Structure 1
């Protein structure tokens, strides 16, 4: 092409303004990102901010947890009882099936989808880090379980005051119940997230959580029953170390004045109770460590 022809050709260069603007707001950093992830995960555990279908199961299970407490309170008020027909520390253990179903449904929802759709590296790109992700998910799952288990206790406490029971005594037992469900929420939340984080398939995560909780409890209670029937009472308290539910039962029996749900009705004393408490704390810390190790790999 000649020089004259090149000069005569029209200039095809165009500059388009597509509306991008620089961000002038505050840079909130890791703390805000961690808080947002915690809030989003906690809301998601009850289907908030998701489809109506996602709200059905968690809300139904929450209602099932609260209905027995409402019935107990109604009976206590109408019949003017001087004490509730159930201990605060025993309520969650009696409804452990509901808690297990809730955990099996919501723990995979919290972490399995991020693994399946490979969105975890996006979280870790900036500014959030691996420890922030694990802490936010762990805290959200434990908080969701605490809401599930503490709400019925609050109903029982309010009902006891309406029935004009002793305020100091009921408040003391209510506090013991809250301590129990805090430990239960941390322990089950950690176990549920570990099981769910092992696979990106939600169905496998649900099955793993159910299997760990139900099989361990069933096996331990069966062995306890055999030990009780064969008059090996000393073995019963040590068998309780091998199931999450019996661990919590042992801790609250030793330190919170609860009645043991073990065969024979005798739980661990203060000495063995220390072992129970140490095992519970070690499992919670171990679950956190496993999650940190797991997300060291998938976060790359």
Structure 2
């Protein structure tokens, strides 16, 4: 009688892992690095690189032009635009970048339900949120700080006063750091509300445009009616006017408010508290969002 071969045991060579286990810190750093690279299309398809690289180039072009003019034209003693004014002047480009990259950072994980796969590794919800938040803020900081660096180097080549330029450059860096943290938090919250990237793009654009349009309209009405006190308080209701108010009050910036008068130091402190509160609130909202998404 032939032996029964219907049940067999095969040795397919599984071996236990004997390498080092790098743990949560390495996983968090890897997710941060991958997310930051993805914000500029690095490690992705060529099509994914086009828009972020174009926007980065457009951000740098005005700085390069100002530097060329400062060096070529004799008699200049300063750059035509303050370091703290540059980000406000190019806010449309910053908004387009955030609207295109914030959904890319979080919406795909939600749409394809890959978030639980992250949490199956030695990584917690706080690690995921922290890595995504830090990566988006870093991407925005690169976008906004590199033009300031170009301006600073150009000012030194033009032999402008070093102390004055260094002070302005430092103030500009603080301003764009706050802007990057604020915009990153708000942008990621809006993008994480929906797994659809298109809806996320629209939500981020609406978050930036609608409050800014409403605030500037009301400020213009208040200015024309002589209600100048209301102008300062209305600036609390839009992300970009919040940054405008903080840098006007503490960083020597020139205000874009009607009449050119930004908030006083006292009201500026309220602006700073609101900015910090929104950054912390955005982080808390993302933590709450991924408590459900991680199931």
Shorter-chain TM-score: which interval? Answer: over 0.9
Corresponding residue to 2:265 among 256, 261, 270:
270
Residue of structure 1 in register with 2:156 after alignment: 161
Matches within 5 A, 1:1-300: 5=1, 8-9=2-3, 11=5, 13-80=7-74, 81-300=76-295
Deviation digits for residues 228-284 of structure 1, max 9, x if unmatched? Answer: 011100000000000000000000000001111100000001100000000000000
Post-superposition offset of 1:85: 0.2
Post-superposition offset of 1:168: 1.1
Say which SS state the counterpart of residue 257 (structure 1) adopts: coil
Structural RMSD (CA) = 1.0
Say which SS state the counterpart of residue 260 (structure 2) adopts: coil
Q: Which ranges of 4 or more aligned residues in structure 1 deviate by more than 6 Å?
A: none
Post-superposition offset of 1:126: 2.4
Cα distance in 2, alignment partners of residues 267 and 166 from structure 1: 27
Cα distance in 2, alignment partners of residues 22 and 94 from structure 1: 58
Cα distance in 2, alignment partners of residues 216 and 122 from structure 1: 37
- Number of aligned positions between the proteins: 294
Unaligned stretches of 5+ in structure 2? Answer: none
Post-superposition offset of 1:15: 4.2
Post-superposition offset of 1:125: 1.4
Cα distance in 2, alignment partners of residues 122 and 244 from structure 1: 34
TM-score, normalised relative to structure 2:
0.98
Deviation digits for residues 40-77 of structure 1, max 9, x if unmatched? Answer: 00000000000000000000000000000000000000
Cα distance in 2, alignment partners of residues 299 and 250 from structure 1: 38
Say which SS state the counterpart of residue 44 (structure 1) adopts: helix
Post-superposition offset of 1:17: 4.1
- Which stretch of the first structure deviates more once superposed, 150-159 or 8-17? 8-17
Post-superposition offset of 1:18: 3.4
**Which structure would you say has the larger Rg?**
1
Post-superposition offset of 1:112: 0.3
Post-superposition offset of 1:23: 1.6
Cα distance in 2, alignment partners of residues 11 and 19 from structure 1: 21
Cα distance in 1, alignment partners of residues 235 and 149 from structure 2: 28
Say which SS state the counterpart of residue 91 (structure 1) adopts: helix
TM-score, normalised relative to structure 1:
0.96
Post-superposition offset of 1:20: 3.3
Say which SS state the counterpart of residue 118 (structure 1) adopts: coil
Say which SS state the counterpart of residue 47 (structure 2) adopts: helix
